[in-house]
Amino acid sequence: MPDLTTNCAGIRSPNPFWLASAPPANSGGQVQRAFDAGWGGAVWKTLGQPIQNVSSRFGAINYSGTRAIGFNNIELITDRSLEVNFREIYETKKKFPKHAVVVSLMVETQEEWKDIIKRSIDAGADGLELNFGCPHGMCERGMGSAVGQEPLVNERITSWAVEYSTVPVLVKLTPNVSDVLPHGLAAQKGGAHGVSLINTIKSIIAVDIDRFVPEPRVGSLSTNGGYCGAAVKPIALHMLARLTRSGEFKIPVSGIGGITNWRDAVEFMLLGASSVQVCTEVMLKGYRIVEDMIEGLDEYMASHGFDTLDQLVGKAVPAFSEWGDLDLNYETIAKIDAKKCIGCQLCVVACHDGAHQCIHQSKETNGDATRVPVIDESECVGCNLCKIVCPVPDCISMVPVDNGFAPATWNQHVTEGLPLRPKKGAH
Amino acid sequence: MSKPIPTERSESVFSDFKHEYAPHQAAVEANRCLYCSDAPCTKACPTHIDVPEFIRKIATENVKGSARTIFDANILGMSCARVCPVEVLCVGDCVYNAMGVPPIQIGKLQRYATDQAYEKGWRFFEAGKPTGKSVGLIGAGPASLAAAHELRRMGHACTIYEKREVIGGLNTTGVAPYKMRADRSVDEAEWVLAIGGIDVKTGVEIGKSHAFEELEKKHDAVFVGVGLGPDTRLGVPGEELPGIHGAVELIERMKLGKLPLQGVKHALVIGGGNTAIDGVRELMVLGVPNVTLVYRGQEPKMPGYRHEWSAAREAGVSALFQAVPVAFEGSGKVERARCVRMDENKKPIAGSEFNVAAELVLMAIGQSTLGEQLASLGHRDQKGSGRHRRTRCHRAQGLVRRRRLSQRWQRSRERRGRRQGRGAGHSLALGRQKCLI
Ligand SMILES: Cc1cc2nc3c(=O)[nH]c(=O)nc-3n(C[C@H](O)[C@H](O)[C@H](O)COP(=O)(O)O)c2cc1C
Ligand code: SF4
Ligand code: SF4
Ligand code: SF4
């Protein structure tokens, strides 16, 4: 049986699945129910000076009949008093001593940081998370992403927190930067034990085309909010790998952003996350999704021969490289399994309109054409588009071909003059 | 214009067999469609509706555009959505079948878009610039209505000649009421005619009140959209007894008025085709306690659609296979059918005769065909008319379909025809199937 015990920057939990700091981790009652359902940890909804929220606050993107593939919000930090929050944290920790309770914080002055950190630790926090990420409302008041976007401010506040804290400190980074690395390094320099990423992405989720107002609508106005949910996973994965691949960045990462199931979680871990946090999918489906997450991860680890999480964390990082190091002579072509093909011709249109015009409808013979398309292999550039559009699993596969050329990257080509194979589809 | 049909009709007790989609149901189904290219469903549609396109427009909530796509190819898309045997046409060819995934419910989606067009009063087409040419169309059924609409879009003047007082042809008089009721068909016909410039003369029977030649003189082209003729009879003793009807004739009476079914405890429907299956299902719903289909061949060899027969079976009809009536008996009206058993080759087995109680008998063994119909129009002799009718028909079609569609259509019809073991020339007789103008 694989061991799912987690240690992320010194914060321990029975499994790597944590609730992200957000509505599902807003109160003691909720967090305790989540732990009962199986969640290993929770990052409490950000504490600070309680705020007043707007109504409504959430928006979503539906795509082709699937609801809320992307989500956004314009809510702020906790609107409940600090006393109530700390009392509930204390009760939760007492009932669940082995689970991770991380307290997310966002205040302005050094004094406030000192005070709130002390009270969090007194309440039993296993760790702290500094919210340097919120991209709406709080940043206008000089907090949240306003801090996360300024490496020097980030580093300074982090160093205060580390000084006042007796438990591990995570810095939650904002994705609203052109390159996340300097910000991760700033947190590291400030002494953070780890970082969490990503917080939400600055966004306008939609526009009400009848009322002429963006969403979510507050009366007759709206504002930019934070984008999250399934659709942001690719951005989060990249930012995660950008840090974990860098030789300079050495502290652990708690991965967040678009995680909806165990597969997503495994992907984050393979790119170096030692725990994962979930917000939107819990908001949409409830705490119960964790059952499948645990089971799926367990089964994945068993089937791949991993006994502990360390064995898989970061395993795909070495395979994330620069474009200039990719082998330009590696060549694949698309092959259709005629037995599986249902004849929809989606690959034909896709290749004709969106790729290299090398999949053709088979010619009619005696009025009865087979609907299995024909690939002109001499023209196929191996782009993958047809495989992506084909509705039948494993019907199209990308097959490597031996073109007789030794591997050669762009960098090698430029520096050592290694020969490149002739181009295809470039006429 | 059409005479109004009575509000009190036997068919009024029927409700739709297939329920209609609510917007969210349509959205779920529409989003499943793969938006195939050169889509098999479109190829299988006799009118070549661009199925993936109209479905995508439902998915994006462009329902008006969806209806336009449908009506552009088939102005009778509303009734087709209800009556087409989609299981053997578009839906039957949906690529999902090959994946073992339920095929897209194209008929229901088409109904969703076209019903909204009717409800919201959307109209899409205008008459073209007058060409000075005129076309006479015989029959006010689906074929002529669709043809006239296309001709009007091209600017040709149209006159439809209909022998009945009601318009809509078989759509009004013959469609099983659990698929579509007569009032809906008349509404559709009027919606089609609203393009303007189509003169409908009801109560005019070509070949009787007016000669075919008169039409030929009067118009630049003549379109024959007469459908099939009267029910065929078995030609056995007692067939003239009251209580024995042609199926098509009786269905028409049920759709346009009241059928007296008092005292009918046993009804027999003779035949194994789709009209026979419609007949048994209709009589069941109308409250006849024992309804039996009598077919001379074996069950798997029935020419009627499998899915329709299963539905009839589920509704509780009985069946007698490999049997055929040899006489009808009764005093003053039919009381029983004398039947004989048939062997595998549909040959009577000597000494196997038996009686079946029947106070009502429907003959659903076929209708007179095009040749006979044309002859009844006072048309030329069979041989001559064969060639003549085809050139005429094609002339009308040349005006009707834009060339591209026409060729595609022609090709697929021929292929389909071949598959079903009949020649392409058969298409003219299919005036009764509304799709096939
Ligand atoms: C309604 C809502 C409120 C949130 N509030 C906070 C917050 O108070 N503090 C914080 O650090 N992140 C907050 N987040 C960001 C989430 O913790 C998380 O970083 C982000 O949603 C990405 O993860 P996901 O794709 O699983 O939702 C909030 C997100 C949402 C949707
Ligand atoms: S891999 Fe790309 S180029 Fe090759 S057949 Fe597929 S779509 Fe066309
Ligand atoms: S997309 Fe796949 S199933 Fe469709 S025609 Fe191409 S290979 Fe066949
Ligand atoms: S074949 Fe099926 S999936 Fe493809 S376009 Fe037609 S209805 Fe849609």
- Those residues with Cβ within 8 angstroms of residue B260's Cβ, 6 or more apart along the chain or in another chain: none
The shortest CB-CB distance from B95 to any of A66, A343, A348 is to A343
- Cα–Cα dist B437/B431, whole Å: 7
Using the mean position of ligand 2's atoms as its centre, give its distance from the Cα of residue A61 in Å: 30
Closest C-alpha residue for ligand 2 atom 6: A386
CB contact under 8 A, B59 and A64: yes
Residue in A344, A345, A348, A359 to alter for ligand 3 test, most ligand atoms within 8 A of Cβ: A344
Structure tokens at A189: 């320099």
Using the mean position of ligand 2's atoms as its centre, give its distance from the Cα of residue B337 in Å: 68
Scanning A65-106, the segments in alpha helix (DSSP H) are 82-95
Query: What is the structure's pLDDT at A427?
Result: 76
* Parallel/antiparallel/unpaired status of strands B157-162 and A374-375: unpaired
Q: What tens digit of pLDDT does each residue of A102-149 get?
A: 999 999 999 999 999 999 999 999 999 999 987 787 778 888 888 889
pLDDT > 50? residue A300: yes
Amino acid at position B116, single letter: Q
Q: What tens digit of pLDDT does each residue of B325-365 get?
A: 999 999 999 999 999 999 998 899 999 999 999 999 999 99
- How many CB atoms lie under 10 A from the CB of residue A158? 24
Ligand 3, residues at Cβ distance < 6 Å: A 336, 341-347, 373, 389-390, 392, 395-396
Cα→Cα distances A17→A5, A12, A40, A137, A287, Å: 10, 11, 5, 28, 11
Ligand 4, closest atom to CA A344? 4
In A291-350 the beta strands, taken as DSSP E runs, fall at: 332-336
The shortest CB-CB distance from B36 to any of A65, A344, A368 is to A344
Closest C-alpha residue for ligand 1 atom 4: A22
> Which chain B residues have a beta carbon less than 8 Å from that of A349?
37
Closest C-alpha residue for ligand 2 atom 5: A380
Mean pLDDT of A85-97: 98
- Cα–Cα dist B202/B434, whole Å: 19
- Cα–Cα dist B142/B168, whole Å: 6
Q: Are A60 and A314 in contact (CB under 8 A)?
A: no
- Those residues with Cβ within 8 angstroms of residue A121's Cβ, 6 or more apart along the chain or in another chain: A165, A166, A167
Residue A134 annotated to the active site: yes
In A283-381 the beta strands, taken as DSSP E runs, fall at: 332-336, 359-360, 374-375
Residue in A330, A337, A345, A384 to alter for ligand 2 test, most ligand atoms within 8 A of Cβ: A384
The chain A residues in contact with chain B (CB within 8 A) are 64-66, 342-346, 348-349, 361, 367-368, 371, 391-392
Query: What is the structure's pLDDT at A185?
Result: 98
Q: What tens digit of pLDDT does each residue of B50-86 get?
A: 999 999 999 999 999 999 999 999 999 999 999 999 9
Q: How far out from the chain centre does Cα B179 lie?
A: 11
pLDDT > 70? residue B104: yes
Q: What tens digit of pLDDT does each residue of A50-86 get?
A: 999 999 999 999 999 899 999 999 999 999 999 999 9
pLDDT > 50? residue B427: no
Residue in A333, A374, A376, A381 to alter for ligand 2 test, most ligand atoms within 8 A of Cβ: A381
Q: What tens digit of pLDDT does each residue of A412-423 get?
A: 999 999 999 999
pLDDT > 80? residue B116: yes
Residue % of chain A over a pLDDT of 90? 93
Query: What is the structure's pLDDT at A369?
Result: 66
Q: Which residue in A has a C-alpha nearest to residue B35's C-alpha?
A: A346
Q: Is the CB of A321 under 6 A from ligand 2?
A: no
> Which chain A residues have a beta carbon less than 8 Å from that of B93?
none
**Best of A344, A349, A372 to disrupt the B interface by mutation (most B CBs within 10 Å)?**
A344
Confidence of residue B429 (pLDDT cuts 50, 70, 90): very low
Please give, rounded to a whole number of angstroms, the shortest distance from the CA of B204 to a CA of chain A. 43
Q: What tens digit of pLDDT does each residue of A180-222 get?
A: 999 999 999 999 999 999 999 999 999 999 999 999 999 999 9
Q: Is the CB of A334 under 6 A from ligand 2?
A: yes
Amino acid at position B71, single letter: F
CB contact under 8 A, A342 and B95: yes
Please give, rounded to a whole number of angstroms, the shortest distance from the CA of B412 to a CA of chain A. 9
Mean pLDDT of B250-263: 92
- Cα–Cα dist B280/B303, whole Å: 15
- Cα–Cα dist A266/A16, whole Å: 10
Mean pLDDT of A360-376: 82
Residue % of chain B over a pLDDT of 90? 76
Closest C-alpha residue for ligand 3 atom 4: A344
Confidence of residue B417 (pLDDT cuts 50, 70, 90): very low
Q: Which residue has the higher pLDDT, B230 or A325?
A: A325
Confidence of residue A314 (pLDDT cuts 50, 70, 90): very high
Which ligand number lies closest to the CA of residue A56? 1
Q: How far out from the chain centre does Cα B233 lie?
A: 21
Query: What is the structure's pLDDT at B17?
Result: 82
Orientation of helix B106-120 relative to helix B23-32, angle to 10°: 140
* Residue A305 exposed, middle or buried by CB count within 10 Å (0-12, 13-18, 19+): exposed
Structure tokens at A175: 């994705």
Orientation of helix A233-245 relative to helix A262-270, angle to 10°: 20
Closest C-alpha residue for ligand 2 atom 1: A382
Q: From A42, A73, A107, select the one nearest A254 (Cα to Cα).
A: A42
Out of A8, A134, A139, A341, the active site residue is: A134
- Those residues with Cβ within 8 angstroms of residue B430's Cβ, 6 or more apart along the chain or in another chain: B143, B436
